[in-house]
Structure 1
Amino acid sequence: MLAPLRYGAFQYLAAGRLVNMVGNGVAPIALAFAVLDLTGSVRDLGLVVGARSLMTVLFVLFGGVVADRIPRRMVLVGSNALGALTQAAVAALVLTDTATIPLLLALSAANGIVSALAQPASAAATPQTVPPELIQPANAIIRLGINAGMIGGASLGGLLVAAVGPGWGLAVDALTFAVAAVAFVGVRVAAPPTEKTHTGVIADLREGWTEFTARTWVWAVVLGFMILNAALAGGVNVLGPAVADETIGRSAWGVVLAAETAGMVLGGLIALRVRVRRLLLLGVACMFAESFLLLGLALTPTVAVLLVAGVAVGIAVEQFAVAWDTSIAQHIPPDRLARVYSYDMLGSWIAIPLGQIAVGPLAAAIGTRDTLLILAALVVLSVLGMLTSREVRRLQAVNPDRDTDAAQAGSADDEPGDAAPAEPVARA
């Protein structure tokens, strides 16, 4: 299960992503209280956070092109160095009491662009660091690190804000970017093989789109998650706190969200051991569990019910996440992988603001309970829609046992910690 950690490039990649997630856990808490201390306005906080999200969505396709054109290590190091600079600037403004909303908006937008450059490269780098037969456990280890980093980062962020103020929390976030950049220097992998010469950005985007739409299972899942993510963003992130205020209380709602994250960690451990041929089918089917938290909030908003639902949701999310990343890595050509990931990210994220904006007026019109039931139904229908695709149901993962035997026969002299193996062969 831990075989990917024998490879030096993977060790550095996993460490860098773990440190990134610690910073991502600290940053929202520190930034939120920094803005509230500055103006006390939730509207201003929404603008600052929204600017980052908007820039990430707008530039993520360009990030995919960049990550397929130049070595992904260079993209990861450069984007994290820029992230360290932008967050250090935010921290300096807050600590010196010179921050203004326009300055925070500009720096938040810049950080969103940095995120758009980093995320496709980060997702596409994993298959370059391990042999093909270890892609699934490698993705599971990455996910474990991400969830552990988010848990630790959120806890650290709360402590820093309470003890020394939000400015120092933002400074720690800047430091995590710098540390991650140093870690990514060790991700020494070959650039994806490509036969093309020099083409424009539009041509690269068109090529990525062709690859994205050529496989029904890819666009069918992304389309399903466009609906699913919008429903969850509105139901859990917007209506969830409102229901908690009237029933279990704010602190208990925090415990429920922590239980979901704990479920993700448990799900990552389970995903390390799962060996099935139709891995994507299993991952998509697990997403029925995403409706549990919405149903619990609508029908039985008690601590016991919501805790169980949160753990179940966390476990299910990790089964899908590992199945999806493994399927993409095994079936998309390496030189187009980052662009396919960028279209995946764009499609999956684009409807989230719509869900967050629309759910309030809908709940005011028909009631919170009925709105949550409708959102739960949308989750179930989106999963059923994904499962109607014959390709989603029948896509087969690479046989781990068969490939492991073949790999061992061809690499008996490899030593743990050596340079990363050759780029895995694309499987159509």
Structure 2
Amino acid sequence: MSSSVSTSSLPRVLRPFSGAQYRRLVFGLMLALFSDGVWTVTVVWQVIEIGGGPGQVSLASGLAATGMVISTLFGGVLADRVSQRSIIVGLEIVKMIAFGMVAICALTGVLTLPIVVIAAILGGITTGMYYPAYSALLPAIVEPAQLQAANGIEGIARPVLFQAVGPMVAGAVISVAAPAQASIIAAIASVGAALCYLLMRPVAVRRDPATLRGPVVRSVLTDLAEGFVYMWRTPWLWATLFFATVLVLATMGPIEVLIPFALRERVNGGAGDHSLVLAAFGVGAAASSFVFASIPMPRRYLTLMFGIWSLSSVPLVLMGVAEHTWVFIVAGFLTGILYDGPMVLWGTLLQRRVPPALLGRVASLDFFVSVVLMPVSMALVAPVSHAIGVTTTFVLCGLIPVPVAVGFYLAARLWRDEVAHPLTDEAQAVAAAVVHDEMTGAAFVEPNTVEPDAVVSQEDRDDPPAAP
């Protein structure tokens, strides 16, 4: 009882840290994100140092992205079949070997472009496989009521460590030494992450072993098919993923490609101005994640999530008409707030409503959607902007996702779905376990659980009960 009281007295965002398993997991996550942030900058400058140009940098980045996209779906299958803890330990070891190999070859003068490309591909593969394993592992060690805070902590750590601190450290080390030293730092951080995960107690896979029998190839393909079938049969899932494809297609190209050119043409800006816009995006993302980690799960969580995401592209309109650097910075900050904040609700929604045996595969579908259209968006935005102009491109990309979000929200009838499947603290209290006296013969119900969608009838979806 004293432990419970102590935990409840903590701010909501800090409650997951009361568990030793989570502390080890999140410290490992932070080191892994830092390692990836350092490597993101290091690989570019390592290619340049050995004489590569834009084409060689593009080759390494493109193959890394391809490895990430291809690996994520199979990473989801793996996360539903073997220990997720073992997966993330193995991924950090692979990163350590890849980054260390680049550093050693560079220091000994034998580094070549193929070696860097192989390391980049391995880095992409580990990124693609990490998210499904982490997403499936988190609800196995964190109470359902603390999942939103745990996802918010990830939302804070990602922009701070991956997008800011890691690249800053890499840039500083490269400027005073060389990319090889930065690669060593990335490798050491991966070792630290692996050690944190190894200190965790083993976590069993939450799946019936009988479902894993049969020929490996056929079993893997069946697992993939089950993930897609579950998506098609789950309205809130396909509505969100389909909308996400449109949002990524509309926004990633302008954010990644057009902002530097718009800054140069409108305000005579350079790399410093561009970095300020990206930093503002990261600050907004971290601040929004902190807010969502600190509040209870909203009663209308799907409505709130879609409502905010439907507006997340609108700041691009500001960038389309901006004539001052500060307007770009404000727009970047607003984009970070609107884009990343709902991710906290989304991650919690996946982990609390998807059956545990399917969570790795569903999380991999989510990650796949997030990354597969990024290169397409970046490839399309340049010719589109040449054809209709930079301003018009920004404006259209900022406005198109709004009606698309409304359309998917209405098509999936999400306002009914969230009432039928409440995730609020009050709903959890109603569903809490009550252990009756053995004389009554009543069954024990596990506390803090919500039945997964797989066991909810279609009638419940279409005609939800009144809100509690």
> Would you call these one fold, judging by a TM-score over 0.5?
yes
**Distance across 1 between alignment mates of 2:349 and 2:71:** 25
Q: 1:403 maps to what in 2? A: 428
The answer (yes or no) to whether the contact 1:133–1:404 under 8 Å persists in 2 is: no
The answer (yes or no) to whether the contact 1:26–1:169 under 8 Å persists in 2 is: yes
> Which aligned segments of 4 or more residues in structure 1 are displaced greater than 4 angstroms?
404-410, 421-426
**Among residues 377, 385, 391, which one is paired with 2:399 in the alignment?**
377
**Distance across 1 between alignment mates of 2:448 and 2:99:** 34
Deviations 1:20-78 (A, max 9, x none): 11112211111111112222411110110111110111121111111100111111111
The answer (yes or no) to whether the contact 2:135–2:351 under 8 Å persists in 1 is: no
Of the structure 1 ranges 88-97 and 360-369, higher mean CA displacement relative to structure 2 is found in 88-97
C-alpha root-mean-square deviation of aligned residues, in Å?
2.2
Of the structure 1 ranges 303-312 and 16-25, higher mean CA displacement relative to structure 2 is found in 303-312
Q: 1:23 maps to what in 2? A: 35
Alpha-carbon distance, 1:405 to partner = 7.9
Gaps of 5+ in 1: 411-420
Q: 2:104 maps to what in 1? A: 92
Residue 77 of structure 1 aligns to which amino acid in structure 2?
A: V
**Among residues 185, 192, 195, which one is paired with 1:172 in the alignment?**
185
**Distance across 2 between alignment mates of 1:3 and 1:408:** 21
**Distance across 1 between alignment mates of 2:41 and 2:98:** 17
The answer (yes or no) to whether the contact 1:289–1:312 under 8 Å persists in 2 is: no
Alpha-carbon distance, 1:265 to partner = 1.5
**Distance across 1 between alignment mates of 2:251 and 2:204:** 38
Q: 1:225 maps to what in 2? A: 244
Residue 27 of structure 1 aligns to which amino acid in structure 2?
A: W
**Distance across 2 between alignment mates of 1:187 and 1:382:** 43
**Distance across 2 between alignment mates of 1:255 and 1:108:** 27
Residue 218 of structure 1 aligns to which amino acid in structure 2?
A: L
Of the structure 1 ranges 318-327 and 369-378, higher mean CA displacement relative to structure 2 is found in 369-378
Alpha-carbon distance, 1:367 to partner = 1.5
- What is the correspondence of 1:111-190 to structure 2 with a 5 Å cutoff? 111-150=123-162, 151-188=164-201, 189-190=203-204
Q: 2:459 maps to what in 1? A: none
Q: 1:47 to 1:154 in 2, by over 3 A?
A: same
- What is the correspondence of 1:257-406 to structure 2 with a 5 Å cutoff? 257-275=278-296, 276-396=298-418, 397-403=422-428
Q: 1:47 maps to what in 2? A: 59
**Among residues 205, 216, 233, which one is paired with 1:191 in the alignment?**
205
Of the structure 1 ranges 242-251 and 387-396, higher mean CA displacement relative to structure 2 is found in 387-396
Gaps of 5+ in 2: 1-11, 436-445, 454-468
**Distance across 1 between alignment mates of 2:157 and 2:358:** 26
Q: 1:394 to 1:25 in 2, by over 3 A?
A: farther
Greater Rg by CA: 2
Deviations 1:185-238 (A, max 9, x none): 233333213252414111111112222222011112111111211222210100
**Distance across 2 between alignment mates of 1:288 and 1:80:** 36
Does 1:79 find its partner at 2:94? no
Deviations 1:227-256 (A, max 9, x none): 211222210100111111223412122112
Alpha-carbon distance, 1:338 to partner = 0.4
Alpha-carbon distance, 1:7 to partner = 1.1
The answer (yes or no) to whether the contact 1:224–1:385 under 8 Å persists in 2 is: no
Residue 190 of structure 2 aligns to which amino acid in structure 1?
A: F
The answer (yes or no) to whether the contact 1:229–1:352 under 8 Å persists in 2 is: yes
Alpha-carbon distance, 1:375 to partner = 1.4
Secondary structure of 1:291 counterpart: coil
Secondary structure of 1:99 counterpart: coil
Residue 336 of structure 1 aligns to which amino acid in structure 2?
A: L
The answer (yes or no) to whether the contact 1:143–1:318 under 8 Å persists in 2 is: yes
Alpha-carbon distance, 1:296 to partner = 1.9
Task: State the number of aligned residues.
Answer: 418
Q: 2:458 maps to what in 1? A: none
**Distance across 1 between alignment mates of 2:449 and 2:31:** 26
**Distance across 2 between alignment mates of 1:370 and 1:223:** 24
**Distance across 2 between alignment mates of 1:187 and 1:395:** 36
**Greater RCO, CA 8 A, separation 6+:** 1
Q: 1:96 to 1:244 in 2, by over 3 A?
A: farther
TM-score (norm 1): 0.91
The answer (yes or no) to whether the contact 1:55–1:112 under 8 Å persists in 2 is: yes
